[in-house]
Amino acid sequence: MTTPTPFVAYDRRALQPTVVHIGPGVFHRAHQAVYGDAVLRTGSQTGAVYGISLRSAAVRDSLAPQGFVYHVVERAGDGDDVHEVVRPVGALLGVDVAAQSTPTAVARLADEAVTVVTITVTEHGYCSVGPGGALDLDRPEIVHDLHAPHSPSSLPGLLVEALARRRASGTDPFTVASCDNLPSNGPATARVVRELAECRDPSLAAWVDGNVAFPSSMVDRMVPATTADDREHLRSKGLVDAWPVVTEPFTQWVLEDTFPTGRPPWERAGVELVNDVAVQEQAKLRILNAAHSALAYWGLLTGHESVADAVADPVLLEATRQLLSGEVLATLDAPPGWDLAVYAEQVLARFGNRALGYTTAKIAGDGSQKLPVRLVPTVRARLAAGAPTVRCAQVLAAWVTCMLGPRSASFAVDDAVLATQSSSRLAVDWTAPEGATAALLDLPGFLPGLAPAESAFRVEVLELVRRFWRGDVRALLRSPLDAWSAQRATVDGRVR
């Protein structure tokens, strides 16, 4: 059955997609597609998007009957005092599923009208050895793409095959703009693409080096998973939508303006175009994303199902404030116009938005990929300065404890990389805190303990895991920092 397509303020039939987005999940549809919609509302003929899902057909199958127009619901508030704005978004013209028809997806990317490819596939989707690392040649998708390069199954494989076809036909390359939470996400994307191209054809790798731009970006908007209640709520307003997207009012996109073959006029929609996004990116990852992870793991261990509940807990809120003000902020340079202390408090206020159903289990997922970019850089900087790392240690210990179990439905934490590695490269005794802590902290991007300060930190994390495992979570998080400084001195003495 076809659902009536909601009205949007431009003629979608006259549009041709100039942007392909890989990973058209809820974040993309609440963020990049909304910016594209805003640009199209100004009369621009560029900015329409075609999506490519690497594997799942859910978005395509849900939105196709309604012409790929969906509703974005912005919510803020608490209890009965909820402010809500609903708007239809029509920038997404369709979705291909690469796993079902690789030739169609590659042809979409090879279309000469496409000048930009944006990406949100999470850190796991880049097929690297650790976030931002080298291409993982042992990943099943990459092994497949090396043997069957013309029918790729991975993000790097799809990009390399499309670029190879554009090169062969004399078509200008597209620009690749990652919008995932990776440090230096532009160079990180360039690295896996180039390394796969090198394996395939060194001359192709050289062409990528000389012709393809990979600007970095920083994106920010909280977008929880859509629920049946969200759909029913819209239905009560007379709006039928198989997959609306619920989000907060706040949105931000900071983007390096390096697009040699053209781009939509995103500045009309409020995108901040800069020469270098590194400072903003680092601040957002280490403040917002680190605090989100901290509240997720601490929240799970103290029985909070939502991030809003966790930040409403005075003990968890104060521990998170101490993490940010006492440890994180000292490692950062402020972006132009930013007051980092004010930004940190604004972040915590946004987390308290009870109108969003953001679950702690969802945020806690994929910690093996998230924590090396959100928290470990702060740990390294603090250890190098000889400064306390109490709250950082508590976050990592909470993560390890969550991975240890128990494996109840309310406490399960998914991690795609660990699930893949558990049968091969990562042998962990999940019943033993000692073995699990060592194995997890040995993962790429973490702390191998080669330096004395790292070794002491690892001992501290292990002791915390043992105590968290016994249920001392709230007592430990409530402990003042000076008491922890004394304990750290004892740990240092034992390691030496």
Counting residues of the chain whose pLDDT is more than 90, the rounded percentage is: 83
Query: In this predicted structure, which of 62-71, 103-112, 355-364 has the lowest mean pLDDT?
Result: 355-364
pLDDT of residue 432: 78
Residues present in the chain in total = 496
pLDDT of residue 159: 98
Coil/strand/helix, residue 74 = strand
Across all residues in the chain, what is the average pLDDT? 92
pLDDT of residue 428: 65
Q: What is the mean pLDDT of residues 4-24?
A: 90
How far is the CA of 383 from the CAs of 144, 310, 324, in angstroms? 41, 28, 16
Give the right CATH number for 278-495 from 3.90.380.10, 1.10.1040.10, 1.20.1090.10, 1.20.1070.10: 1.10.1040.10
342 pLDDT more than 70: yes
Identity of the highest mean pLDDT range in 67-81, 193-207, 394-408: 193-207
345 pLDDT more than 80: yes
List, for residues 139-152, the tens digit of each pLDDT value. 999 999 999 999 99
116 pLDDT more than 60: yes
pLDDT of residue 130: 84
Q: Is the pTM of this model over 0.95?
A: no
Q: What is the mean pLDDT of residues 37-54?
A: 97
484 pLDDT more than 70: no
Report the alpha-carbon distance of residue 237 to residue 363 in Å, rounded: 30
- Can you read off the two tokens belonging to residue 383? 């250890």
Report the alpha-carbon distance of residue 217 to residue 204 in Å, rounded: 25
pLDDT of residue 470: 87
Report the alpha-carbon distance of residue 304 to residue 203 in Å, rounded: 53
CATH domain 12-274 topology: Rossmann fold (3.40.50)
Confidence of residue 472 (pLDDT cuts 50, 70, 90): confident
pLDDT of residue 495: 45
pLDDT of residue 489: 57
CA dihedral 98, 124, 243, 118 (to 10 degrees): -70
pLDDT of residue 247: 98
Report the alpha-carbon distance of residue 15 to residue 274 in Å, rounded: 28
Report the alpha-carbon distance of residue 222 to residue 234 in Å, rounded: 20
**Angle separating helix axes 290-301 and 390-404, nearest 10 degrees:** 50
User: Where do the structural domains in the chain lie, given as residue ranges?
Assistant: 12-274, 278-495
Q: Do 12-274 and 278-495 show the same overall fold? A: no
Confidence of residue 413 (pLDDT cuts 50, 70, 90): confident
Is pLDDT larger for residue 90 or for residue 421?
A: 90
Report the alpha-carbon distance of residue 329 to residue 323 in Å, rounded: 9
List, for residues 181-211, the tens digit of each pLDDT value. 998 999 999 999 999 999 999 999 999 999 9
Q: What burial class does residue 302 get, using C-beta atoms within 10 Å of its C-beta: 0-12 exposed, 13-18 middle, 19+ buried?
A: middle
Closest C-alpha to 162, from 61, 50, 28, 34: 50
Q: What is the mean pLDDT of residues 337-344?
A: 96
355 pLDDT more than 60: yes
Q: For 31, how many CA atoms within 13 A lie in the half-sphere containing its CB? A: 26
List, for residues 305-331, the tens digit of each pLDDT value. 999 999 999 999 999 999 999 999 999
pLDDT of residue 425: 45
Q: In what order do the strands lie in the sheet with 49-53?
A: 92-97, 49-53, 19-22, 116-119, 175-178
Identity of the highest mean pLDDT range in 378-387, 447-456, 487-496: 378-387
Q: What is the mean pLDDT of residues 37-55?
A: 97
Counting residues of the chain whose pLDDT is more than 70, the rounded percentage is: 92
pLDDT of residue 288: 98
List, for residues 219-235, the tens digit of each pLDDT value. 999 999 999 999 999 99
421 pLDDT more than 60: no
Can you say how many angstroms the Cα of residue 310 is from the centroid of all Cα atoms in its chain?
A: 20
30 pLDDT more than 60: yes
List, for residues 278-313, the tens digit of each pLDDT value. 999 999 999 999 999 999 999 999 999 999 999 999
pLDDT of residue 291: 98
Backbone dihedral angles phi then psi of residue 312, each to the nearest 5 degrees? -80, -10
376 pLDDT more than 70: yes
Do residues 255 and 273 make contact, with C-beta atoms less than 8 angstroms apart? yes
Is pLDDT larger for residue 168 or for residue 414?
A: 168
